[in-house]
Chains A and B, each alone.
Chain A
Amino acid sequence: MIEGILIGLQTALSLQNLLMVIGGCLIGTFIGMLPGLGPMSIIAIMIPVAISIGDPAAALILLAGVYYGAIFGGSTSSILLNAPGVAGTVATSFDGYPMAREGKAGKALTIAAIASFCGGTIGAILLMIFAPMLSSVALLFHSAEYFALMVVGLSAIAAFAGTGQVAKAIIMTLLGLIMATVGEGALFNMPRFTMGLMDLQSGFGFVTLAMAMFALPEAIFLVLNPGRSAQGDGGAIKDMRITRSEAKSIAPVIGRQSLQGFFIGVLPGAGATIASFLGYAVERNIAPKTEQEQFGKGSIKGLAAPETANNAACTGSFVPLLTLGIPGSGTTAILLGALIALNVTPGPRLMLDDPQIFWAVIISMYIGNLVLLILNLPLIPYIAKILSVPRNFLIPFILFFTLMGAYIGQNNATELLLLVGFGVCATVLRFADYPLAPLLIGFILGGMLENNFSRSMQLYDGVSFVWERPMTLGLLVIAAFLVILPSYRARRARARAAGIADGD
């Protein structure tokens, strides 16, 4: 292993490859900030550039840099504008945006940068240690377990999003799931629920929905109630530093989430998105009662958790790619395509045949994380300045970027009308205190959930996989508990408040 690390260092520290890392991180950060362009689309755009380089190690290093940069750039727009351009940073906006509204945008961005750095670096160390071992663990998971794992994820999100009113959060999740069934699924090859409209053939666009659920209602709320905007305070810049006690309180969160995020990232299909939501939910659940109420209102723990987890998971998702040749996420699938185009076949033999590629990528992960930290910390005051743009200019620009994000993804003007329509619906839902995040998460996971469900149904010729596979059953039982427990607890608390004695 030491030998491998040395080879990797030698490759990664060449001038060309260092420039690749720096360039990739810069491109990724700036494009990732534009809502609507996630890592997947940026990497797809960069593939022709990477292939023309010719050297597979350099190409992979460039693309990995873009990947990290895009994830960090996405968190910037989540925090400042509540406009997550990447599914993996949706959870970042839960607490990052409230912090920005309180005038702590600088601090929020600093925490995000540090949490990302730690998550990515710890992830890279784990990758070095576990890459060979983990390949065998990931193989134990079948589609039945993936299905159950996603059900657990969705239940956890619904249980935590709906404070006291779990039914509302669940129905929003279900709404997201049924929206994911619109269009032509990969498994059945026939259009479903398109109502005969050609434009719905390929389903709803993820970016359109994300914009409509988060950015657009927020902009409308800003218009409706001008007092909401957090602009015009100079505090955003001088309040950048993290105090000692804050550092102490987020350190364990970062430690836990680096591990958890990494291991979730290793599981194929469960990438940065699930890792960030699960990380948020777990941290919220184990926080002390007083801090729990802060979640969603600008808790630094709630910001650090998803930021750490999504970066650790990004690193983790390289494990199945590099060791098994199985891409764990859409993004790594695109990377796999690029590698094959460069005449490199990822798989168990990669470490033996092309050790310089394998180790150079890992070493460049450290360098990439370091570059991101060095690059972003001094830039934060300038990035945070976005908030001091006068409201009369800022709001049309936010609206314009939501429109652009939806348009670029699909190149279809109907998508823009859908965006406005969904945005109005989302605003009304927000009036009535329906949580919107579960809808989007249901939509993102819907396709994968159904595919894994269908595959297990086919393998077991029915639903018998639920009781024939103990791990599946266990996970589903956990999911049921997650849904029932908060509702039961809320009911008991109300009963107690009303002076009615309860059973136990």
Chain B
Amino acid sequence: MALDRWIGLILLGIFLAYGYTAWFTMDAALAPFMQRNPIWPSSFPKILSILGVVCALIIITGIEGGEAKVGDIDYRRLGDYNIAQALMLLGLMALYALLLRPAGFLFSTIAFLILGSVILGERRWITMIIVSAIATGIVWYLVQVVLGIYLRPLPGFIGG
């Protein structure tokens, strides 16, 4: 079975779970006076779940036909691409998300930009440090000072 039909199966699961919530569990929490309304919070989701299940079944059974085109990247040959780099960058993003608050904006951003370049194979250390420090400074200034959105600049233990 091709990848697009496997995804169809996963989507079917999502729509079934969504539909189950909409049809069977959501209305239990509805206040009695709201039950007289012609429209319930679950009405629109109910319609969506039915349409979604129908579409998912069409995809899985392949009734509509048509070939899935192989895009720019052929997923069957993922090993030929820089998959390790991509995964490492995604991991780095998740790490950044977790560290942004505790480690402070300035430190985590500089580290993110440098490590990102390193993962991609850059080894000009001095350029990297200068570029990421300047960029971090500018973005921090714009967001914090010009726009007035608070970003904790330094790690908590230094008092940021």
In this assembly, does A391 line the interface, its C-beta being within 8 Å of a C-beta of chain B?
yes
Closest partner residue, chain A, to B56 (CB atom): A171
C-beta contact mask, B22-63 vs A, less than 8 Å → 1, else 0? 000010010000000111011111001101100110110000
Contact status of A45 and B147, CB under 8 A, knowing A192-B45, A193-B18, A223-B85: yes
Closest partner residue, chain B, to A168 (CB atom): B59
Chain B interface (Cβ within 8 Å of chain A)? 2-4, 6-8, 11, 14-15, 18, 21, 26, 29, 37-39, 41-45, 48-49, 51-52, 55-56, 58-59, 64-66, 68-73, 75, 81-83, 85-86, 89-90, 93-94, 96-98, 100-101, 109, 112-113, 116-117, 120-122, 128, 131, 135, 139, 142-143, 147-150
CB distance from B115 to the nearest CB of A (A): 8
A228–B86 Cα distance when bound, in Å, is 14
Q: Interface SS of chain A: helix, strand, loop or mixed?
A: helix
Contacts of A391 in B (CB 8 A): 120
Closest partner residue, chain B, to A189 (CB atom): B41
- Across chains A and B, which 7 residue pairs bring their CB atoms closest together, nearest first? A396-B116, A416-B97, A392-B122, A432-B4, A224-B81, A431-B75, A171-B55
Contact status of A454 and B39, CB under 8 A, knowing A175-B52, A408-B143: yes
Closest partner residue, chain B, to A429 (CB atom): B7
In this assembly, does A292 line the interface, its C-beta being within 8 Å of a C-beta of chain B?
no
Number of interface residues of A (CB under 8 A): 69
In this assembly, does A94 line the interface, its C-beta being within 8 Å of a C-beta of chain B?
no
Point out which of B42, B45, B73 has the most chain A C-beta atoms below 10 A from its C-beta.
Answer: B73
Contacts of B56 in A (CB 8 A): 171
A223–B120 Cα distance when bound, in Å, is 8
- Other contacts beyond A190-B41, A224-B86: 16, CB < 8 A: A45-B147, A171-B8, A171-B56, A175-B11, A193-B18, A220-B86, A223-B82, A223-B120, A392-B120, A393-B117, A399-B116, A400-B112, A413-B100, A420-B97, A428-B75, A490-B65
Contact status of A453 and B131, CB under 8 A, knowing A167-B59, A399-B116: no
Contact assessment for A193 and B21 in the assembled complex, using a CB-CB cutoff below 8 Å: yes
CB distance from B90 to the nearest CB of A (A): 6
Contact assessment for A487 and B100 in the assembled complex, using a CB-CB cutoff below 8 Å: no
CB distance from A489 to the nearest CB of B (A): 12
A434–B73 Cα distance when bound, in Å, is 13
CB distance from B24 to the nearest CB of A (A): 14
CB distance from B66 to the nearest CB of A (A): 4
Q: Which of A427-477 contact B (CB under 8 A)?
A: 428-434, 450, 453-454, 457-458, 460-462
C-beta contact mask, A220-231 vs B, less than 8 Å → 1, else 0? 110111101000
In this assembly, does A201 line the interface, its C-beta being within 8 Å of a C-beta of chain B?
no
Contact assessment for A453 and B68 in the assembled complex, using a CB-CB cutoff below 8 Å: no
16 pairs, CB–CB < 8 Å, chain A vs chain B: A31-B147, A177-B48, A178-B49, A181-B45, A188-B41, A224-B85, A226-B82, A390-B122, A392-B122, A393-B122, A396-B113, A407-B100, A431-B75, A433-B4, A434-B7, A454-B43
C-beta contact mask, A185-221 vs B, less than 8 Å → 1, else 0? 1011010110000000000000000000000000111
Closest partner residue, chain A, to B128 (CB atom): A393
**Number of cross-chain contacts by CB at 8 Å:** 184
A34–B37 Cα distance when bound, in Å, is 44
In this assembly, does A133 line the interface, its C-beta being within 8 Å of a C-beta of chain B?
no
Closest partner residue, chain A, to B120 (CB atom): A392
Contacts of B97 in A (CB 8 A): 403, 413, 416-417, 419-420
C-beta contact mask, A143-187 vs B, less than 8 Å → 1, else 0? 000000000000000000000111110110011011001000101
In this assembly, does A424 line the interface, its C-beta being within 8 Å of a C-beta of chain B?
yes
Contact status of A431 and B81, CB under 8 A, knowing A178-B48, A192-B26, A461-B38: no
Contact assessment for B39 and A432 in the assembled complex, using a CB-CB cutoff below 8 Å: no
Contact assessment for B112 and A396 in the assembled complex, using a CB-CB cutoff below 8 Å: yes
Closest partner residue, chain A, to B34 (CB atom): A188
Contact assessment for B135 and A397 in the assembled complex, using a CB-CB cutoff below 8 Å: yes
Closest partner residue, chain B, to A219 (CB atom): B89
Contact status of A178 and B39, CB under 8 A, knowing A225-B73, A408-B143: no
CB distance from A404 to the nearest CB of B (A): 7
A172–B160 Cα distance when bound, in Å, is 43
A114–B135 Cα distance when bound, in Å, is 31
In this assembly, does A491 line the interface, its C-beta being within 8 Å of a C-beta of chain B?
yes
A187–B96 Cα distance when bound, in Å, is 36
CB distance from B88 to the nearest CB of A (A): 9
A393–B3 Cα distance when bound, in Å, is 33
CB distance from B23 to the nearest CB of A (A): 13
Closest partner residue, chain B, to A27 (CB atom): B146
Contacts of A190 in B (CB 8 A): 29, 41
A186–B44 Cα distance when bound, in Å, is 14
Contacts of B135 in A (CB 8 A): 397
In this assembly, does A84 line the interface, its C-beta being within 8 Å of a C-beta of chain B?
no
CB distance from A390 to the nearest CB of B (A): 8
A90–B120 Cα distance when bound, in Å, is 28
Closest partner residue, chain B, to A418 (CB atom): B97
Contact status of A224 and B120, CB under 8 A, knowing A174-B51, A403-B93, A431-B3: no
CB distance from B41 to the nearest CB of A (A): 4
Contact status of A404 and B139, CB under 8 A, knowing A193-B21, A393-B117, A433-B68: yes
